[in-house]
Amino acid sequence: MSVRTTRTRLFAATTVALATLALTACESDEGTDTGAAASSAPASSAPAGDQAKPATGGSDSDGDKGTDGANGSTGSNGSDKSGGGSSDSGSSGSGSNAGSDTGDKDDAEMPGKCSASDVKITATKVSRPINHLLLTATGTGSKTCMLPPYPVARFGEAQSVPPVIEESQPHAVAGVGPGETAYAGVRLTMADGSGGEPISVGTLTIPFDDDSIAKVALPSGVNVDSKLAVTYWQTGIDHALQY
């Protein structure tokens, strides 16, 4: 083999080797590029991650907003409600005081009980019904006062007082103002004689709740028997004399 031929073959082999190396290098570059592309895939998915992150941030923001809203609303409303409660409680207290003041005012304006010095009591004989006496109480004080339910009349030196005729009880206790009058009837004796032998009396006293006593002048010829009785104080003469 000649030296020329040997060189030619060596050149060809060298050329083939270089071509092979070049091809290998290209394939290696392509692999590297592919790997780089593959490794960059997570980077391309990063936008999705970025999109997820705003979503997460939005959730946090909503959570914070909800917490802030709850705190602001609950705290504010709770405080306002508590304040309103205190205000209502204060109003209730004012109402209670107003009611108490009204009650005290009403009590102060209510008439007191009569004393013997507040009224003048007179006794008068009547023709009908027979054997009856009419008691008249006239207010002499400066304001209205309430009479006892009925006159606890003591005639003469009697040890007891006559009973009251229960059927004569009115709906309310009688009161008398200055110049006003109330009436009570007295049944002196029974016309049929069932009360026994009458006795003559010349004095009449009527006590009041404060232990004061009114002395009442009697007309002449007043007789009483065991059926002696009185009515409740009435506002009209007819009611006082119908029993």
Q: In what order do the strands lie in the sheet with 229-230?
A: 119-125, 132-139, 181-187, 229-230
Locate the domains of the chain by residue range: 3-39, 113-240
Query: How confident is the model at residue 66, as a pLDDT?
Result: 39
Find, among 128, 72, 95, 119, the residue nearest to 213 by Cα.
119
Helix (H, G, I), strand (E, B), or coil: what is residue 39? helix
Q: How far apart are CA 76 and CA 68, in angstroms?
A: 12
Q: In sequence order, what E strands does 180-226 have?
A: 181-187, 199-207, 213-224
Find, among 192, 197, 216, the residue nearest to 206 by Cα.
216
Query: How confident is the model at residue 242, as a pLDDT?
Result: 92
Q: How far apart are CA 150 and CA 10, in angstroms?
A: 162
Find, among 95, 182, 193, 190, the residue nearest to 138 by Cα.
182
Query: How confident is the model at residue 30, as a pLDDT?
Result: 47
Query: How confident is the model at residue 159, as a pLDDT?
Result: 83
- Name the CATH code of domain 113-240 (choices 2.60.20, 2.70.70, 2.60.40, 1.20.1070): 2.60.40
What token pair was written down for 9? 């073959």
Strands 132-139 and 175-176: unpaired
Q: In sequence order, what E strands does 34-179 have?
A: 112-113, 119-125, 132-139, 145-146, 154-155, 175-176
Find, among 137, 159, 129, the residue nearest to 232 by Cα.
137
Q: How far apart are CA 163 and CA 144, in angstroms?
A: 27
Query: How confident is the model at residue 18, as a pLDDT?
Result: 52
- Dihedral sign for Cα 191, 195, 196, 200, please: negative
Query: How confident is the model at residue 86, as a pLDDT?
Result: 43
Query: How confident is the model at residue 68, as a pLDDT?
Result: 44
**Whether 229 contacts 168, CB under 8 Å:** no
Query: How confident is the model at residue 21, as a pLDDT?
Result: 54
Query: How confident is the model at residue 158, as a pLDDT?
Result: 85
Averages of pLDDT over runs of 10 residues in the chain (243 residues) are 51 55 49 42 42 42 41 42 43 45 56 95 95 97 95 91 96 94 97 92 96 96 95 96 93
Q: How far apart are CA 179 and CA 177, in angstroms?
A: 6
Find, among 156, 149, 110, 112, the residue nearest to 230 by Cα.
149
